[in-house]
Each structure stands twice: as structure tokens, then as C-alpha cells.
Amino acid sequence: MAIERTLSIIKPDAVAKNVIGKIYTRFEEAGLKIVAAQMKQLTREEAEGFYAAHKERGFFKDLVDFMVSGPVMIQALEGENAVLKNRELMGATDPKKADKGTIRADFADSIDANAVHGSDAVEAAAVEIAYFFGK
């Protein structure tokens, strides 16, 4: 199996709920290593740039408003099949549809305030990691 890296963001709702440690425990217990991390308040420009692929979607402005509403915790995770493994830990985008025991089922309130971001492919992960951590 391939050792991969993926980008994870603990979004403002989960940071406000004080569950960074609980989410980190899930990464660690699944064998994912936190190899870089930074807590920061995103600027609008950073949030818009990060979600540029969704620019034309109806929810884009609300998404950016939400992502700048408080600090986020950004981390690069490394491990076997890290991209898919993190997506499995996260659960479906809409927490109402997320499997029991996933991060979104346990910590998210709605499809917009859904606790975590995770890269959806290896190529996207490389771009997203570089966006926040450089090379």
C-alpha cells in the first residue's frame, strides 16, 4: 500500500466546540501521523483561493463566510492510503448521511458547518498541502 499525504482542516465549528484533540485521536488511532500543523484565522482571500473549484456554486459565499468565522486547525496527515482513510474517518459531506462513528456524524451540525475538510484525491492533496505549508 502507498504511503500518502493528505490535507485536513478542522473547521471553525469544531474548533469552537473544543474537539481538536478528539479529532486528532481519531487520526492517530487510524495510523495517520500529523506531519505538519498550524492554527490560523483564514483571510477571505485564503478561503476563496482554497475553495476556488466551488466558485460558481450557490453555497460559495456562505462557505467562505463560515471558513473565516473563527480559527481553523490545518494539518498534513501521512500514512498508508491517507487520502481515502481520512475521507472514511470524516464521513459524508452531510452529517445526516454520515456513517455512525465518523467525525462528521459525531461532531458536525449541518452540511455547511461540517467539522472537517479532507482532500479528495492524491493530486488535490499535494496542491492543498502546498497551499498552506509550501513545499
In the shown chain, the binding pattern of residues 79 to 108 toward ligand UDP, with x for contact by CB under 6 A and - for none, equals --------------x---------------
Pairwise CA distance, residues 14 & 103, whole Å:
10
Query: What residue number has its CB nearest to ligand UDP?
Result: 93
Q: Please say which residue, 79 or 95, places its beta carbon nearer to ligand UDP.
A: 95
Query: DSSP letter at 88?
Result: H
- Tell me whether residue 11 is annotated as binding: yes
Q: Alpha helices of 11-121 — where are they, by DSSP H?
A: 12-16, 20-29, 44-50, 60-67, 82-90, 103-107
- Contact predicate 83/125, CB 8 Å: yes
Closest CA to 51 of 38, 36, 37, 62: 62
Per CB under 6 A, does 109 bind ligand UDP? no
- Tell me whether residue 93 is annotated as binding: yes
Shortest separation between residue 29's beta carbon and ligand UDP, angstroms: 21
CB atoms within 10 A of CB 49: 13
Per CB under 6 A, does 78 bind ligand UDP? no
Per CB under 6 A, does 26 bind ligand UDP? no
Shortest separation between residue 91's beta carbon and ligand UDP, angstroms: 9
Interacting residues toward ligand UDP by CB under 6 A: 54, 59, 63, 93, 111-112, 114, 117, 120
